[in-house]
């Protein structure tokens, strides 16, 4: 490390952390914010501007987690701020229906043909929890299939071998979840269609649904395996030396859809993270999926708390007041969240071609540039990327499932994270979380990030 380099001071952030610890467990309201996996003291954010976060000490950071996904248009995007301000003048909440709910629903359903009807809730956890209740009611079955490393919120039955903060903190599940509830969830390896077929054979007429992150984001970014074809031939040949698994006979997600149809189970695609992130129609459009139910969040709220679950009318009409499945929420369809979501989704729709090509190009420039610096430094770093979400895995091998992700050098990632933060680049504080960028990131941020990585890897080699 250069003798002239000095890490920024965060004395006010440290004081605020100590104060927070008086009120909140660990000083945080969400565990991954505590930086336990990467070490050091977390900065306290004062404001965001475009691609940047500014902490309580005035330090400025390029932001690559974007409030964990929703800030696709950057922090304090003026049309979103103006929409929230206009809505707030009429009151922050009514507990009654507004036209804005259907306005936003119309835009969502135009991008997601599989969603014929939907419900707004206040979080991704609520969305997935409600979708599973609906699937159990529709099928009269109890067992749910999920995948190791996939995080679908913190409801009891979905914390079995979950990713995200559970993986970050090394927790196998969660205390307080009764064994009887955990037993109703089968956690299978991602990208292994044979394991799914075996599970359905072992539990005939008992599985209500498969729920899957179509692109895993909570064990790091892990895309679905695609069937071998001429378009992928060169990629697989190039990767063969690294032990990439033999490609399947059918696309992995198509295989899940086939199995659920064969066995009368529902196919739930959890796009809380990927929805509107990897394209205007999310992973459903990217991979040509036709799920029974879809969950959304993050970008749909434009930075405010929103979740969505929706799908085929035949299932959604089972919800009260039409049917016997109860689900409710006082703040569902909150007018401020609807305003933020409308401003965000309408902007994405109006500028989709330009925005998504720009996001792809910028994300590739950042992600590939950092990998090149790692190679020059002799530090093994792999890359998984889909659109504007990616993960740098500190490993020399492929990562196609959670077991492989868990073998990464988390200590090396922690050193890299601290070195990047000291150089003004704020990454997700976990090897098991995807990175994101937005339209506010450009050439200046790309160049600064690659330069920071060059220095960070040099510092890691110096010990």
Residues known to be catalytic: 151, 270, 298
In sign, the C-alpha dihedral spanning 402, 403, 405, 409 is positive
Tokens of 423: 């150089």
CA distance 278 to 284: 10
CA distance 292 to 116: 10
CA distance 130 to 328: 10
Tokens of 68: 């964990």
Q: Which of 92, 61, 112 is nearest to 425 (CA)?
A: 61
Strand order in the sheet with 389-393: 382-386, 389-393, 435-436
Backbone phi, then psi, for 130, in 5-degree steps?
A: -70, -40
Owner of token pair 């992600």: 367
How many residues in the chain?
Answer: 463
CA distance 341 to 306: 8
């Amino acid at each position: 490390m250069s003798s002239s380099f000095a890490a920024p001071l965060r004395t006010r952030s440290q004081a605020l952390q100590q104060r927070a610890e008086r009120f909140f467990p660990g000083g945080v309201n969400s565990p991954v914010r505590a930086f336990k996996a990467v070490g050091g003291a977390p900065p306290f954010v004062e404001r965001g501007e475009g691609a940047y976060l500014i902490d309580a000490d005035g330090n400025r950071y390029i932001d690559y987690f974007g409030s964990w996904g929703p800030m696709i248009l950057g922090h304090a995007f003026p049309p979103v701020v103006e929409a929230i301000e206009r809505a707030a003048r009429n009151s922050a909440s009514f507990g009654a229906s507004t036209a804005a709910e259907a306005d936003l629903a119309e835009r969502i359903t135009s991008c997601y043909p599989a969603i014929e009807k939907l419900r707004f809730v206040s979080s991704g956890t609520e969305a997935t929890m409600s979708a599973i209740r609906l699937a159990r009611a529709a099928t009269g079955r109890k067992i749910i299939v999920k995948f190791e490393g996939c995080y679908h919120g913190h409801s009891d039955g979905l914390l079995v071998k979950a990713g995200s903060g559970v993986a970050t903190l090394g927790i196998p599940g969660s205390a307080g979840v009764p064994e009887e509830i955990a037993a109703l969830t089968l956690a299978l390896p991602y990208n292994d269609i044979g394991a799914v077929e075996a599970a359905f054979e072992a539990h005939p007429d008992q599985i209500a649904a498969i729920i899957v992150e179509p692109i895993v984001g909570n064990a790091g970014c892990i895309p679905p395996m695609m069937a071998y074809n001429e378009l992928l031939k060169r990629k697989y040949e190039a990767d063969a030396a690294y032990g990439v698994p033999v490609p399947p006979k059918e696309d992995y997600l198509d295989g899940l859809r086939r199995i659920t149809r064969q066995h009368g189970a529902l196919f739930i695609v959890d796009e809380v993270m990927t929805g509107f992130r990897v394209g205007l129609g999310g992973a459903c459009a990217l991979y040509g999926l036709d799920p029974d139910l879809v969950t959304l969040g993050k970008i749909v709220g434009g930075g405010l708390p929103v979740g969505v679950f929706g799908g085929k009318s035949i299932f959604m009409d089972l919800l009260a007041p039409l049917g016997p499945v109860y689900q409710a929420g006082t703040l569902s369809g909150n007018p401020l969240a609807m305003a933020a979501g409308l401003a965000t989704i309408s902007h994405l729709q109006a500028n989709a071609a330009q925005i998504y090509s720009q996001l792809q190009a910028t994300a590739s420039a950042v992600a590939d540039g950092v990998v090149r610096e790692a190679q020059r430094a002799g530090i093994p770093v792999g890359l998984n990327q889909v659109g504007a979400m990616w993960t740098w895995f500190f490993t020399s091998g492929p990562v196609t499932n959670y077991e492989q992700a868990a073998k990464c050098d988390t200590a090396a990632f922690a050193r890299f994270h601290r070195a990047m933060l000291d150089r003004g680049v704020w990454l997700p504080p976990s090897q098991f979380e995807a990175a994101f960028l937005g339209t506010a990131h450009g050439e200046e941020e790309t160049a600064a990030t690659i330069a920071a990585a060059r220095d960070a890897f040099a510092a890691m080699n110096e010990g």
